[in-house]
Structure 1
Amino acid sequence: EVLAQENPFCVGRVKDMDLEDYAVGVITKMSLKDCEIERLTLDASEEAHVAAVLAQENPFCVGRVKNMRLYKYAVGVITKMSLKDCEIEEFKLDASEEAHVAAVLAQENPFCAGRVKHMFLEDYAVGVITKMSLKDCEIERLTLDAREEAHVAEVLAQEKPFCVGRVKSMWLKEYAMGVITKMSPEDCEIGTLWLTASEEAHVAEVLAQEKPFCVGGVKRVNIWDYAASVITKMTIHEDNTMESFVLVGNEDHLSRILEEKDRSIELGRIRTGGLDSIPERIKRKLR
């Protein structure tokens, strides 16, 4: 009955709005342009729950939302949202199954993520980054977190690199570490890049490739645990000058670096004092 009506209805100012399963479709009938919602959560456990939303041609606007979370099949709804003029403080996409993001990955044209302060992509939702148009976006914090190797398979399989635009702080966690090899160094500006991997397997994909990858323009780099070893495969854009470079790890985490020859790892230009936190035995490997 709700989906059959032509005229949208206004919900006014709402603190928390949770739409689950078939109720997700109701959002297309809401007039949210002039509304203020603190937290909007869409959660759909079956593909049929979002079929009505994905079938419509015209995108809908979600208005001003502080915190938006899309779970499972509801992740696909993002392709039908008009986010260009939206301002979202926290935007989280979480997909535990590959099928949850199929609708997003199947489309050819990228979609605009609008103005987002903090964006979190978890598990299979990490693959959605390849379909976002981020070149002209400014994101304060972008976090990609993948707990399984399969979560990033779609990203690693593609040949064409993607651009993350201007990001103040970017976090790549666990298997999402591998995504860095598919990022385009062109037109990217990253304030602080955080790389963290709690298991050796998380960086295996990066270490297995023959050619080094370039991370483009970045001011500060912070690398933790097993992620430290990726500097043996990393280069920084020649026109870039880093303010600081930090490595944190124990003997096991740093073992791959210590196997390298002295002055064999090229990190690019780093300001005076930018390597103060690096142990001397690691500094000897850098040039």
Structure 2
Amino acid sequence: LQAPASFLLTCDLPNEAVLLTEKTTVTLKNIEISVELFFVLLEKTRVTVGENFSITEHNDNEDCIREHGMMGETPLWLERRWAVSSLTLENIERMAPNSIGCVLERFDLSDTGLINILPKLRIHGDCEIEVFCLSADEKEHVAEVLAQETPFCVGRVKEMWLTDYAASVITKMSLKDCEIELLCLYAPRKEHVSAVLAQEKPFCVGRVKKMWLRDYAASVITKMSLKDCEIERLDLYAPRKEHVAEVLAQEKPFCVGRVKEMWLTDYAVGFITKMSLKDCEIEHLSLDATRREHVAAVLKQKKNFCVGRVKKMKLTGYAANVITKMTIHEDNTMENFVLAGNEDQFSRILKKGDKSIDLGRIRTGGLHVPERIKRKLRYTLVDGEGKEVLEEEEPSQRGNLLE
């Protein structure tokens, strides 16, 4: 068989066999094909995408080629975890943005140049993606995406996980009107997010219920436009000093919007001093530091920082000492205040004078601290109506939280 120079793929296939090779230009327009057939064509031929082209879920019991609009809106699982040929990458590069229609249910591309197909997808606006995962251990895997000037839409996403170089892809998405239940960024190397941290203009992540940023990705929080956002839970985790160095060095505070629960772990505890929280109301603030150096930068600073209004606060390990540098809003009433750790981790507090650390008002039954620490604190117990009450020893306070 001799391969033709060009081939228009239609529903009416020729009766005789046709040989398609890497020298054959296959045109896809006014047609819908299964995702499996699409990837075969990308790998083996020169693909040109025209108007009215879509991909859909592959089904062994159905035709993989149909007229455009005939397959309906079958949700698609687009998943690949291996390298692709140079021909595939050339095909993707030639495609126009938003030229491949699809309805996505799950999107998972790991360590593959196929990630660069993202801006080429025309994702149906009404679809809801259960899980959206990108992982790129090489910069080339996301190079074309990051070179895009026009942001692309990914529709509504429940969970979004971006790892390594793929963490930077968040800046190229159009998420202004989106609502994401869980956003996770993980960048173990600085170069994974260096492009994000270098940009001056903040980017929008839409409405995010839960956000988890790890390692160098924790610093990306400073580049997000969160002023009008309301986050149910924000987790920042930075196990190494380098992960937070740039943020701690900056003088200008950054805004995290309205956060219901904030969890800062290890070196990320230092971020609390750089946040603009004076007029914020946090339902639950948790700081946890397993090593002394995790909070060294916080304890070294001369000026106290304000955490605004906090309903519940838990300081664990060496993070307990941060209370000596903290100012709580004067109108605040805490429902619950917990210090947990061992005596060595409370060393900074124990050196303070009695009643020298002001906690403000605390609801009766809400103070959970070791007895040796208790005398260092200055606070007023109030009832449910905010009226001052005499302190009484309660069973929950008799125990020793020193572990």
Contact 1:234 1:267 in 2 (8 A): no
Match of 1:135 in 2: 227
Equivalent of residue 122 in structure 2, options 31, 34, 52: 31
Q: Which residue of 2 aligns with 1:285?
A: 376
Q: How many residue pairs were aligned?
A: 286
Larger helix percent: 1
Aligned partner of 1:102 in structure 2 is 194
Match in the other structure for 1:70: 162
Is 1:88 aligned with 2:180? yes
Match of 2:4? none
User: What is the CA-CA distance between 1:123 and the residue it aligns to?
Assistant: 0.3
CA distance in 2, matches of 1:34, 1:132: 25
CA distance in 2 between counterparts of 1:149 and 1:190 reads: 26
Normalising by structure 2, report the TM-score. Answer: 0.68
Higher relative contact order (CA 8 A, sep 6+): 1
Q: TM-score, normalised by structure 1?
A: 0.95
The CA deviation at 1:16 is 4.7
Q: Is 2:227–2:256's contact at 8 Å kept on the other side of the alignment?
A: yes
Of 185-194 and 88-97, more deviation after overlay is shown by: 185-194
Which one has the largest radius of gyration? 2
Conserved? CA contact 2:111–2:138, under 8 Å:
no
Q: Which runs of 5+ in 2 are unaligned?
A: 1-90, 379-403
Per-residue deviation at 1:50? 2.0
SS in 1 for 2:193: helix
3-state secondary structure, aligned to 1:155:
helix
1:106-157 CA-partner distances (Å, limit 9, x unpaired): 1111111211111100000011010111111111110000010000011101
Q: Which residue of 1 aligns with 2:31?
A: none
The reply to whether residue 144 of structure 1 matches residue 233 of structure 2 is no
SS at match of 1:210: coil
1:5-24 aligned within 5 A: 5-6=95-96, 7-24=98-115
Quick check: 2:206–2:229 contact (8 Å CA) kept in 1?
A: yes
Percent of residue pairs identical: 63
RMSD: 1.5
Q: 2:209 — aligned with what?
A: 117
2: CA distance between counterparts of 1:21 and 1:216?
A: 45
Contact 1:244–1:271 (Cα < 8 Å) also in 2: yes
- AA partner of residue 231 (structure 2): I
Unaligned runs of 5+ in 1: none
Change (3 A) 1:189 1:23: farther
Aligned residue among 37, 41, 44 for 2:136? 44
Corresponding residue of 1:215:
307
Q: Deviations over 1:153-199 (max 9, x none)?
A: 11101110011111111100011011111011234221100110111
Moved more, 58-67 or 263-272: 263-272
Deviates more, 1:11-20 or 1:233-242: 11-20
